[in-house]
Amino acid sequence: MQYVSTRGHSGRKQFCEALLEGLAPDGGLYVPETYPRVDHATLDAWRTLSYANLAFEILSLYVGDIPSADLKAICAKTYTPEIFGKPDIAPLRKLERGLYLQELSNGPTLAFKDMAMQLLGNLLEYELTRRQENLNILGATSGDTGSAAGYAMRGKKGVRVFMLSPRGRMSAFQQAQMFSLQDHNIHNIAIDGVFDDCQDIVKRVANDLEFKQQYKIGAVNSINWARLLAQVVYYFSGYLQAFERGPAGVSFAVPSGNFGNICAGHVARMMGLPISRLVVATNENDVLDEFFRTGVYRARSRADTLETSSPSMDISKASNLERFVFDLVGRDAGRTKALFDGQLRERGGFDLSGDPRFAEAAARFGFRSGKSSHADRVAAIRDTWERYHTVIDPHTADGVTVARTHASAEEAMIVLETALPIKFAATIKEALGREPDLPERYKGLEELPRRVRVLPPDARAVKDYIAEIVTS
């Protein structure tokens, strides 16, 4: 399997090249040249596999440049009950007839991002060791990505992480979780500013090509193909578990921000997994809901991006949408480039409402969408507690809210659980009048010593700090 860019100018790449590069050199996103098809007999044979072996089978279809035995060992060491807290890694939990939660947040940082980031850590260590290279990962986080990256890369050979976060603006639990990591290859940097300042600094450093090359700066953001591929696995796992229980169809509802999570569902469906519908759930930042309802994609300005109580979905544009639009326009790279490199950059968006392919998109690709508000979120948390004695986090609550508007009696609707409630205690307290339970293994976390460097919102200061660490 080889990879091409959605913008068509980066040649064909092997899996590990796409893994290390992240973004394609022409600014597009890497996608597989074709989607391998999984037939019914194969799907049937996968029913009894462990999660790690299922991951291996799916990855094998996409990874041509890692020997099979090595890939299998990487999957086996990633998806263990010790790391993911449950024997079956991503189990379904039934709420009521036809409505399930898929637990994806029992990993080290209690958000679904661990599902992919843990694999990425092991793949990077493997490939960097093989090439005898080093990588300095630079990223910005408002919470979940940063800690998932830190916990996935801690102690990994050849990798250092420099993670910028807005000083004092993450939840207490998120700060404790990130900053208590004592590993010498993890460097947390608290920026005196907001998340956008952090992101601007990352962009400015990455645009300094000389610095980028000299210090081998890389990224692990959600546009990395390897992260998306890791996520494809739990759609297969969720489908197979629901199918066991005998409904006529299986749909997924996915709390969405950058469209990374649900894009993996799209890939699974393109591979032939018989997913009935893929329901995109947004919060008040409804860029994606607007796109799927109207065909108009309108990136928001900074001022129009709201701070909500499901903060990991507070996005101004959905960076992974380009992969879906590439498929929507018949894999026409010229058209995709004109939309994302032309109209989006010049006019802040584009309009596909007049394109007959957009009109057919719901039927062809199964997408539906909806949005949720703070009041919906609080009501869903309360209702899910009262009816099922289950506490869900605010993002998962957006999924449950939107799932209900698209549920049908004959089908199973699986809501992907994107974080555990303890990460967002304030909203849980508002909904239930009490704080969520702290999982046993996190008791005392907030008292641990912290390792974090405070820097001003200035790219120069961050570059100097990186240079100091790398050359010391």
Residue from 107, 146, 150, 257 touching ligand PLP (CB under 6 A): that is 257
Query: Does 429 participate in catalysis according to the annotation?
Result: no
Which DSSP helix (H) or strand (E) runs through 241?
helix 225-244
Cα-based angle 422, 427, 431 (whole degrees, multiple of 5): 110
Catalytic residue among 72, 113, 371, 463: 113
Q: Give the C-alpha separation, 168 to 162, whole Å.
A: 17
Among 471, 253, 465, 261, smallest CA distance to 380 is for 253
When the beta carbons of 251 and 310 are compared against ligand PLP, the nearer one is: 310
When the beta carbons of 421 and 457 are compared against ligand PLP, the nearer one is: 421
Among 432, 425, 469, 470, smallest CA distance to 451 is for 469
Which DSSP helix (H) or strand (E) runs through 159?
strand 159-166
Q: Shortest gap between Cβ of 340 and ligand PLP (angstroms)?
A: 17
Instruction: Kindly report the backbone phi and psi dihedral angles of residue 86, in degrees, each rounded to the nearest multiple of 5, phi listed first.
Output: -135, 145
Residue from 418, 427, 455, 457 touching ligand PLP (CB under 6 A): that is 418
Residue from 251, 256, 384, 427 touching ligand PLP (CB under 6 A): that is 256
Q: Shortest gap between Cβ of 110 and ligand PLP (angstroms)?
A: 9
Yes or no: say if 292 and 352 are a contact pair by the CB < 8 Å rule: no
Q: Which stretch binds ligand PLP (CB under 6 A): 43-51, 64-72, 74-82, 250-258?
A: 250-258
When the beta carbons of 146 and 158 are compared against ligand PLP, the nearer one is: 146
Residue from 7, 113, 300, 371 touching ligand PLP (CB under 6 A): that is 113
Among 79, 41, 89, smallest CA distance to 59 is for 79
Does 377 contact ligand PLP by CB under 6 A? Answer: no
Q: Shortest gap between Cβ of 230 and ligand PLP (angstroms)?
A: 12
Residue 58 to residues 86, 269, 323, Cα–Cα distance (Å):
21, 13, 19
Amino acid (1-letter code) at residue 439: P
Q: Shortest gap between Cβ of 278 and ligand PLP (angstroms)?
A: 12
Residues 299-358 that bind ligand PLP (CB under 6 A): 312-313
For tokens 């001003």, name the residue. 456
Does 253 contact ligand PLP by CB under 6 A? Answer: no
Residue from 156, 187, 300, 395 touching ligand PLP (CB under 6 A): that is 395
Residue from 28, 98, 255, 457 touching ligand PLP (CB under 6 A): that is 255
Instruction: Kindly report the backbone phi and psi dihedral angles of residue 5, in degrees, each rounded to the nearest multiple of 5, phi listed first.
Output: -90, 145
Q: Shortest gap between Cβ of 220 and ligand PLP (angstroms)?
A: 13
Does 144 contact ligand PLP by CB under 6 A? Answer: yes
Query: 409 burial class (0-12, 13-18, 19+ CB within 10 angstroms)?
Result: exposed
Strand partners, 275: 250
Q: Give the C-alpha separation, 233 to 356, whole Å.
A: 32
The residue at minimum Cβ distance from ligand PLP is: 260
Residue from 141, 175, 261, 283 touching ligand PLP (CB under 6 A): that is 261
Residues 193-222 that bind ligand PLP (CB under 6 A): 222
Q: State the number of binding residues for ligand PLP (CB under 6 A).
A: 16
DSSP at 215? T
The dihedral of CA 323, 325, 330, 335: what is its sign? Answer: negative
DSSP at 82? H
Q: Shortest gap between Cβ of 258 and ligand PLP (angstroms)?
A: 3
Strand partners, 92: 102
Q: Shortest gap between Cβ of 128 and ligand PLP (angstroms)?
A: 25
When the beta carbons of 233 and 333 are compared against ligand PLP, the nearer one is: 233
Catalytic residues: 113
**Residues of the shown chain interacting with ligand PLP in the complex, contacts defined by CB under 6 A:** 111, 113, 144, 222, 255-261, 312-313, 395, 418-419
